[in-house]
Amino acid sequence: MMTNAQITYPVGSTDWMLLLARHASGTRIRPSPLAVFLGGVGRLLHLMVSEKSSSDPIASTADATMQREFMQRFQDMIVPHLDAAYNFARFLSRDADAAQDIVQEAFLRAYRNFETYRGGDPRAWLFAIVRNCCHVWRKQDRRKARFEQPMGNDGYADPDEGGEYQIASEEDSPETETIRRSEQQRVRAVISRLPEAMREILVLRELEDLSYRQIAEIIDAPIGTVMSRLARARRDFGEAWDACNKSETAG
The CA-CA-CA angle for residues 38, 39, 43, to 5°, reads 120
Among candidate residues 59, 66, 74, the one with its CA nearest the CA of residue 109: 74
Instruction: With respect to residue 214, please indicate whether it lies within any of the assigned structural domains.
Output: yes
Question: Which distant-in-sequence residues (6+ apart) come within 8 Å of 120 by Cβ?
Answer: 214
Contact status, residue 238 vs residue 17, Cβ threshold 8 Å: yes
State residue 213's pLDDT score.
Answer: 96
Domain count, the chain: 1
Instruction: With respect to residue 158, please indicate whether it lies within any of the assigned structural domains.
Output: no
State residue 251's pLDDT score.
Answer: 58
* The length of the chain, given as a count of residues: 251
Instruction: With respect to residue 8, please indicate whether it lies within any of the assigned structural domains.
Output: no
Range of the domain at 147: 14-151+174-250
Per-residue pLDDT tens for 189-206?
889 899 999 999 999 999
3-state secondary structure of 198: helix
> What burial class does residue 110 get, using C-beta atoms within 10 Å of its C-beta: 0-12 exposed, 13-18 middle, 19+ buried?
buried
State the chain's maximal CA–CA distance in angstroms.
73
3-state secondary structure of 244: helix
Among candidate residues 190, 205, 200, the one with its CA nearest the CA of residue 132: 200
State residue 12's pLDDT score.
Answer: 36
3-state secondary structure of 43: helix
Per-residue pLDDT tens for 1-24?
444 333 333 333 334 444 444 445
Residue 232 has pLDDT above 60, yes or no: yes
Give the lowest-confidence range in 81-85, 163-167, 238-242.
Answer: 163-167
Instruction: With respect to residue 63, please indicate whether it lies within any of the assigned structural domains.
Output: yes
Q: How many CB atoms lie within 10 A of CB 159?
A: 15
For the chain, give the percent of residues with pLDDT over 90.
35
Among candidate residues 234, 182, 228, 175, the one with its CA nearest the CA of residue 203: 234
Whole-model pTM? 0.70
List C-alpha distances in Å: 48 to 21, 36, 186: 39, 19, 40
CATH number of 119's domain: 1.20.140.160
Residue 152 has pLDDT above 80, yes or no: no
Instruction: With respect to residue 143, please indicate whether it lies within any of the assigned structural domains.
Output: yes
For residues 142 and 144, what is the distance between their CA atoms, to the nearest angstrom?
A: 6
For residues 206 and 185, what is the distance between their CA atoms, to the nearest angstrom?
A: 16
For residues 249 and 245, what is the distance between their CA atoms, to the nearest angstrom?
A: 6
Instruction: With respect to residue 156, please indicate whether it lies within any of the assigned structural domains.
Output: no
Average pLDDT over residues 85-109: 91
Main-chain phi, psi angles of 157, to 5 degrees: -70, 140
Instruction: With respect to residue 6, please indicate whether it lies within any of the assigned structural domains.
Output: no
Contact status, residue 40 vs residue 55, Cβ threshold 8 Å: no
State residue 27's pLDDT score.
Answer: 53
Give the lowest-confidence range in 7-11, 135-139, 209-213, 223-227.
Answer: 7-11
Instruction: With respect to residue 163, please indicate whether it lies within any of the assigned structural domains.
Output: no
Give the lowest-confidence range in 41-50, 85-94, 181-190.
Answer: 41-50
